[in-house]
Amino acid sequence: MRWLDVVTGRSRPKQNKLDSLFAVPSAAITLQAGLGLSATGDGSVCYRAAAGSAFATTQADLEQLVGTGPDAPRVTTTTDGFGYTWLELDHDPIDPANPDLTALCTGLHAVNTSLEEAGFGPGLLCSLVPFVGSDGRHVGLVYLYKQGTFYPFAPAGGQQRDNLLELQVRDTLAGELPIEQDLGRWLAIWGAPGL
């Protein structure tokens, strides 16, 4: 914090670490080997949509940016019960056992960066990369935009969480990703796409 910020009572927003998203493909290999969890190849970015034509134009440009090209994902937007918008990137993997997580993370990074550069960074909440086990358990690797950290979220049916699986994922990825240490920030994202 600069001296003038202290005197005037202003604070600077924490700089995010979006490049951490590019560590997810390596972390996916660790999750596959350690816990038998495979990436689905899909992902999403959650944000609070702003009112007005500037945001609508930015969102349309984003959809075109990440949804255009021969191997581009299907891009859809949905709104959850809390009023947050989920921009989903759904890939049709050539090899379902080995989805292209590098392309997915590049797309998630592009969405976050584009919203940030257009001035809508304060509305960004998180990015999500879902994983599934051979036993049918689901877990999402959640990137908290404002913290620059990850945490696992594992729904277990209804409004229940699989806390043991979440802790196993945390411990497995401790050396690979910046893991959120404050468990109070491990928010439940019920009904998130892919989970």
- Residue-wise pLDDT tens digits, 5-59: 566 665 555 556 788 999 999 999 999 999 999 999 899 999 998 888 888 899 8
Counting Cβ atoms within 10 Å, is residue 151 exposed (0-12), middle (13-18) or buried (19+)?
A: buried
- Residue-wise pLDDT tens digits, 149-186: 999 999 998 889 999 999 999 999 998 999 999 999 99
Q: Would you say 150 and 55 are in contact if contact means Cβ atoms under 8 Å apart?
A: no
Give CA–CA dist 32/147, Å, rounded.
26
Give CA–CA dist 190/195, Å, rounded.
8
Q: Residue 160 — left, alpha, or beta (φ > 0 → left; ψ -120 to 50 → alpha)?
A: beta
* Residue 23 identity (one-letter amino acid): A
Q: What is the model's pTM?
A: 0.87
Which phi and psi angles does 47 have, rounded to 5°? -155, 160
- Residue-wise pLDDT tens digits, 61-72: 888 888 887 778
All structural domains of the chain with their residue ranges: 3-185
- What is the full DSSP assignment across 24-41? HHHHHHHHHHHH-EEE-S
